[in-house]
Structures are given as C-alpha cells and as structure tokens.
Amino acid sequence: MLSAEDNEILTRTGPGTLMGDLFRRFWIPVLLSCELPEPDCPPVRVRIMGEDLLAFRNSEGSVGVIEPRCSHRGADLFLGRVEDCGIRCAYHGWLFGTGGECLEAPTVSSNDTKGKFRERAAIRAYPVREAGDIVWAYMGPPERMPEFPMMEFTLVSAEHRFASKKLQEANWAQLCEGGLDTAHFSFLHMPVDVDSANIPTGAGGAGPQHMRWMKNDPKPRFSIKEHPAGLAMGGARHTDGEDTYWRIAQFLMPNHGFAPSTLVGRTYTGQTWVPIDDINTWVFCYSWNPEQPLQENEKGYVQGVPSIYSEVDENYVPIRNRRNGYMQDRTAQKYETFTGIVGVSEQDAAIQESQGRIADRTREQLGPTDLGVVSFRRLMIDAAKALSAGEEPPAAARPDAYCVRSGAIVTGPEKSFDEVLLTRFGTPNGEADRQYESQAAE
Ligand code: FES
Ligand SMILES: [Fe+2]
C-alpha cells in the first residue's frame, strides 16, 4: 500500500515532477530505428513523458529529436521537409539541424544569420543515440548526461537481437510492476488443463513441466538483491521432487525489466516502459541471444508462441485492446485458457490496464508474493525524493552495471539466492559484462 502522495510521486513523469526529473537523468527509448527507415524520410511525431517532440533522420542518416515548433513564428515542423541535412519549415523555409541549430533562415539577410541570431533561433533538441534498433534520447540537464548503459541487447550483433514496441493505455509504473510480479504466471497465463499435451514452449524455453510447477505453486518465495543498476528478483517454486524452480527477473533503473523464464542458452527478453504521458505508455520489447542468431519465430509476435510481443497494427497499437475488450472469448476461458484472451502479452495488457489508467495503490492488500513490486516502488520513490534533495541517482553513473541477464534454473533445495545467482549466471548479480569489456574500451 502507498500513500496517495507517494502514488503521485511514483506515477507522474511530466516536466518538473519528481519522478520526471529522475527519468530525465537516464537515456530513454523514444522510437524504433525502423520508424525512420532512411535518410530524409518523413519525420515522426513522438510524445515522451508529456513532451511533444519530433524525430527525423537527416541526409547523412543521423537522427534528431527536437521540439516541433519553428522558432520563426511557431509553425509545426512536422509539416516540413527533411532535406539539406536538416528539417526545413514549410512556412518560410528556416532549416534546423539535428542539434536544433538554425542552419538557414531565408527570410533574414545573410549578414544577420550569424552569431547571436543562431543562438536565438535555435530550437530545443535532445542528445540522441541509436542502439539495439532503438533511438534513445537524453532529456535531462546537459551537464548531467550519463554514459550510455551497456544493456546486452544493444551490444550483440544485429542478427542476435530484435526490437519492437506496443502501446499500452495505462500508467508506466503498473505495467512495470506487471513485468516484475512473477507470481501471476500461476493464473494469468495458464491453460485450463495444464497436463494437456498442447502446451506451447515459451520464448525462453519454459515448457509444459515448468508450467505445471507454476500452476501447482502459486506462492513463490521471493528474494530481492539490490545491485548498482537496480534489483535482481528471484521467485522460488516447488518442483515435482526435491528441487526448486527459480525464476529471476531484473529491474534496471528507471524503467527496464528483464523477463524471468529464460533457461541457459535460450533467448533473453526485456521490456522498457516509456511514459507517453501519465496514462499511456510505449512498451519497448526486445529479445537477444548472445550465443546464436535469433530464430524467425523469436522476432516479434508469432501466434501460439508465448512472449512479450503483442499482435499490433501499423501504428503499434495492439489488435486486442481495451476498446474491444481484448477480444475475450468466454468459451475459450471455460475450456482452454484462464483468461480466454489470446496472447501472453495481451493477457498482461488486459489485466494491467484493468487496474485503472493510474492504479490506486492506497487500497491494496499486499502480501509476501508482492515483495518485488514493493521493492521496486521503494527504490524508485526513494531515488526521486533523494534527487529532489540534491542527490544524483548512482545507477546513472554505472553504465557497466546494466549488462545483466535474467533467467530461470532448477537447483537443489536449500540454496540461498546468492548461490542461485552464481549457479545460473556465474556472477553475483547476473552480470554478463566481462565478454563486452573490449567493446566498451573501443
Ligand atoms: S514559421 Fe517557420 S519559417 Fe516561418
Ligand atoms: Fe505476465
């Protein structure tokens, strides 16, 4: 349970809010690289944390993320032409570069377009990076810009990764909580007959026996370990015998979560929840396999394969969404799946959006299986309050600590979480950065 005041702090990310300031100390995904498919292609409107922005790819292939208002007389640059290594306002032809600089002002005599004029005519632009097939921006104070986080999916080569996104119509924090709440698998994603032969294997390799263990043990024992970038979260369930089935998720500040089911050698998946505003969220979804190229059925939504990807339209809006009741089929609910909703990602979206556009956390009844969710809230609210008191978030200064993995393992009984992390990943917090050290040094 949270106080109303803390719920506000956790959920509001617009300019000038406590959580908004915290987010603006980190690199944030803005859109997919493929939304700007080639130099001088049409610009794309983006709204991030309540700020309306415009993304474009200039003649040389570099991406700009700028405020969309022309500094001459306020025309919308979305109407403009992307040309001559900038975006040219359609009204009187002022040209702006990816850094927001005014490169040309045809209505002003050329003698006057130097020096002070250039400074005055510049529009707001955020620093941009492209990594992992995603365009990222840093929207905070320039003097605080951190190094880019070493998330593993951005470090592997292109054929070893895939990225997409989906719209979810609710506040970012409850969606993030849904990703970290690994207890819900025992119900939300279950088939009615867990012993049937038709249970599909999930993206990370979890198959029928893992599903049965999850169904039979809806009270996983949680262990949380804080590390420099966030939290490793273990959930331990009984198996058929003496062994324990561990699923370990990762939360990385401020808004990344890695899924817990991946078995050794299989494909990892993660999601980053980017507030569009306080009641809508872009969920960036990505998969990576450091050991082998991804299979075709691991790249985005594939019917029948349980995964983080939703079936979406050309605007990345899920086909099964709140306006059509997620196409819930009550007959399927009776005989096939626990929800009657097709798709693991869609099941998550339905239940998370059902909590309200901004979940009311003042009226909850939390228990031991909510430990991960509670730890996430405490970490984020404390960090936002600390920043408002002048204390910078330490995670922003540790790009190396973002190179971690999540995943599952079956171990003998009675192991501590520290032992399990070492057994599954070979490192104390799931770190995988050793193999990328040479890349970071380049
Ligand atoms: S309003 Fe953009 S050039 Fe005049
Ligand atoms: Fe889920």
- 106 in ligand 1 pocket by Cβ < 6 Å? no
Measured distance CA(65)–CA(126) in Å, rounded = 6
On the question of pLDDT at 112 being above 80, the answer is no
- pLDDT tens for 156-202 read 999 999 999 999 999 999 999 999 999 999 999 999 988 876 788 88
Return the residue whose CA atom lies nearest to atom 1 of ligand 1.
73
Q: What percent of the chain has pLDDT over 90?
A: 90
Which ligand is the nearest neighbour of the Cα of 182? 2
What is the model's pLDDT at position 321?
Answer: 98
Are 11 and 31 contacting, i.e. CB atoms less than 8 angstroms apart? no
Segment 93-109 mean pLDDT: 94
Q: How high is the pLDDT of residue 197?
A: 64
| Best residue for ligand 1 mutational test, from 66, 79, 87, 91 (most atoms within 8 Å of Cβ) | 91
The two structure tokens encoding residue 426: 């070979």
Of the residues 66, 67, 73, which should be mutated to test ligand 1's pocket, given the most ligand atoms within 8 Å of the CB? 73
What pLDDT digit, counting tens, does each position of 372-397 carry? 999 999 999 999 999 999 999 999 99
Mean pLDDT of the chain: 95
257 CA to centre of own chain: 7
Which residues contact residue 44 at a Cβ distance below 8 angstroms, ignoring those fewer than 6 apart? 31, 35, 36, 54, 55, 56
**pTM beyond cutoff 0.85:** yes
What's the CA-to-centroid distance between 147 and ligand 1, angstroms?
35
* Region of residue 114 (phi > 0: left; psi between -120 and 50: alpha; otherwise: beta): beta
Question: For residue 311, how many other CB atoms are within 10 A of its CB?
Answer: 16
- Percent of the chain beyond pLDDT 70? 98
CB burial of 73-90 (b: ≥16 within 10 Å; e: otherwise) equals: eebebeebbbeeebbbbe
Closest ligand 1 atom to Cα of 105: 3
Whole-number Å distance, alpha carbon 127 to ligand 1 midpoint, is 24
Contacting residues for 364 by C-beta, under 8 A, at least 6 apart: 1, 2
CA 155/CA 207 separation, integer angstroms: 28
Q: Within 10 A of 160 (CB to CB), how many other CB atoms are there? A: 18
